[in-house]
Amino acid sequence: MDNTQQNKRLDRSMKSILRQNLLFTILVIWAIGPLAWQLYTSFSTADALINPFNDVMNRWTLSNYKLILSSETPFWRYLWNSFVVGIASTLFCILLSIPAAYGISKLKARTSSIIKTVLFGVALFPYVLLFLALLEIARGLNIGNNLLALSIPYTALSMPLSLLLLSAAFKDLPFDLEDAAKLEGLNFFQRLRWVLLPLIGPSTASTAILVFLFSWNEFPISLTWISDPALLTLPVAISRIAGSSVYSVPYGAYAAATVLASIPLLIIVLIFQSQIISGLTKGAVKG
C-alpha cells in the first residue's frame, strides 16, 4: 500500500522533471537553432544549401570565409571599425549617464518620476525617423566618415535607456550607506569612487553591454554617415558583400560574416555573464 503510493509520487515527480527538461530543450533549440544554422551555412557550398542530400563528400567548404577575408578591404578591418565605435559610444554614454543618473535618483519622487516617464518615451521613440535629420547635421558639420563622430549619435540614442537603468541602480542602494560615507569624511567624488560605483558595478556592466550591442548592430545612421570603404562598420559592410543582387544571394558569405561578427559579442557576454544577469534582473524588478 505504502509502497505503491510512494511509487506513484515518484512517478509524478519524474514526470514533472521530464516535462521541465522537455521545455528547457525546446527553449535551447529555439535560441541556439538559428545560430547553429548560420554556422552550418557558413561552412556549406552554395550547391549543398540547395541540395542537402547530394554530393555528401564535397558539401563542406571554407570558401565563404576565404571570400570575405580576401576582399579588397579585409574583413577584420570592419570588425575593428565597429569595435572602435562601440567602445567609444559605450564609454561616452556611461561617463555621461553616471552623474546624471545619480542626480535623477536624488531628486524628489515627483520630479524624478516625471523625468523617468519622459526618458521612457524617448527610449521607445523609433530612431529611424531621425536619421535623415542626423545626416543633414553630419553634412553641415562636416563630420561624415569619422568613426568617433559616429559614436556621438549612438551615445545620444543610448542615453535614455542607460539613464533609466543606472538611476534605478542608484535608487536601489540604501541611502544610509552614502550617509555613513559622508560621516566618514568622504567627499562626493570619493563616495562615488569607493562606495557608489563598486556597488552599481553589475548594473553598469549590463548597461554598457546594451549600449555596445546597439552600436554593434546599428545600420541606417552608419550607412549614411560613412561612405569610405575602409571605415564601414560591420552591418553596412556585410550588406555590401560582393555578389549581392536580386538574382543571387551569397548566403554562405553572409553566414560567414555574421559568424565572425558575433564572435566578439560572445566573448564579451561570456566574460560578463554573471554581472549582466544580476544587472538586468535588478532593472527588471525595480526599474
CB of 166 to another protein, least distance (A): 17
Binding mask 144-183 for another protein (x = CB under 8 A): ------------------------------x-xx-xxxxx
Q: How far is the CB of 48 from another protein (least distance, A)?
A: 54
Size of the site for another protein (CB under 8 A): 17
Give the three-class secondary structure for 249: coil
SS3 for 153-197, per residue? HHHHHHHHHHHHHHHHHHHHCCHHHHHHHHHCCCCHHHHHHHHHH
185 Ramachandran zone, left/alpha/beta (phi>0; psi -120 to 50): left
Question: Would you tell me how many other CB atoms lie within 10 Å of the CB of residue 33?
Answer: 10
- Cβ contact 211:93 at 8 Å: yes
98 binds another protein (CB under 8 A): no
Residue of 187, 227, 273, 281 that binds another protein (CB under 8 A): 187
User: Binding of another protein at residue 184 (CB under 8 A)?
Assistant: yes
Which of the residues 189 through 218 are near another protein (CB under 8 A)? Answer: 190, 194-195, 198-199
Q: CB 185 → another protein: shortest distance, Å? A: 5
CB nearer to another protein: pick between 100 and 186: 186
| Cβ closest to another protein, residue 145 vs residue 190 | 190
Cell numbers that stand for 234 in this block: 560591420
CA distance 113 to 127: 23
The C-alpha cell that represents 38 in the structure block = 548560420
* Interface with another protein (CB under 8 A): 174, 176-177, 179-187, 190, 194-195, 198-199
